[in-house]
């Protein structure tokens, strides 16, 4: 006999629970466990429905898929008039360069000097007051933030009722937070098959499990 099915559930007085047959207690425990499983399945279905809705709304105007895959209700893109000018920059057109970040916005700054002349190989020394500045921008590594909330149960010394703690205010009963659901939704809509993202979305973030 599994003792987890004999624990007094919330909302049932201790006196009534003690008078309940063991077979009924087991059935109540099994139904409670099944209810938790159904809640998790419902959350997963909600996430999948959101992904499917995003995929249904995709067309050639808001994604990289070809116009031939658009449904009939999507209006085709209007072709631009050919003005006889090719793509890209034209002679006399000033170039566009990414604006550099201010030095105080950089996490690290390193100076590098040539040791020898590129023409004759002679040793070099001195300072350059205006060095060429090159910057790289990278996303910081993302690690899933897993928090565990242990809801303990205590017995009332007056009436014997068992009370279990509730989740703190602001903590959802869902397993995955909104940022995880949004990230999986975006990535799975861009890359297929999306089933791999739904089952295990962490490898791209190099998370250790």
Give the start-to-end residue ranges of the domains of the chain: 18-56
Beta bridge partners of 162: 155
For residue 106, what pLDDT is reported?
Answer: 92
Work out the pLDDT band at 207, boundaries 50, 70, 90.
very low
pTM, full prediction: 0.39
On the CB side of 72, CA atoms within 13 Å amount to: 0
Q: Model confidence at 132, in pLDDT bands (50, 70, 90)?
A: very high
Distances (CA, A) of 62 to 50, 68, 119, 133: 17, 14, 52, 36
pLDDT tier at 104, thresholds 50, 70, 90: very high
Strands, E, within 63-125: which ranges?
none
Count the helices and strands in the chain (H runs, E runs): 4, 2
pLDDT in tens, 68-87: 666 666 666 666 666 666 66
What average pLDDT is seen over the chain? Answer: 77
pLDDT at 105: 92
């Amino acid at each position: 006999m599994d003792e987890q099915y004999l624990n007094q559930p919330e909302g049932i007085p201790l006196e009534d629970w003690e008078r309940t047959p063991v077979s009924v207690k087991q059935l109540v425990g099994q139904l409670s466990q099944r209810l938790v499983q159904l809640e998790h399945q419902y959350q997963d279905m909600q996430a999948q429905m959101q992904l499917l809705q995003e995929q249904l709304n995709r067309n050639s105007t808001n994604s990289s898929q070809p116009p031939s895959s658009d449904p009939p209700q999507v209006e085709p893109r209007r072709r631009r008039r050919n003005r006889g000018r090719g793509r890209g920059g034209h002679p006399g057109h000033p170039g566009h360069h990414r604006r550099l970040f201010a030095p105080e916005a950089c996490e690290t700054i390193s100076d590098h000097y040539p040791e020898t002349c590129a023409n004759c190989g002679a040793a070099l020394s001195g300072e350059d007051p205006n060095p060429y500045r090159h910057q790289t921008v990278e996303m910081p590594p993302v690690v899933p933030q897993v928090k565990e909330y242990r809801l303990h149960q205590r017995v009332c010394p007056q009436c014997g009722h068992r009370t279990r703690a509730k989740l703190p205010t602001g903590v959802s009963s869902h397993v995955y937070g909104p940022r995880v659901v949004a990230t999986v939704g975006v990535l799975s809509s861009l890359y297929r098959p999306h089933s791999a993202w739904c089952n295990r979305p962490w490898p791209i973030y190099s998370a250790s499990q």
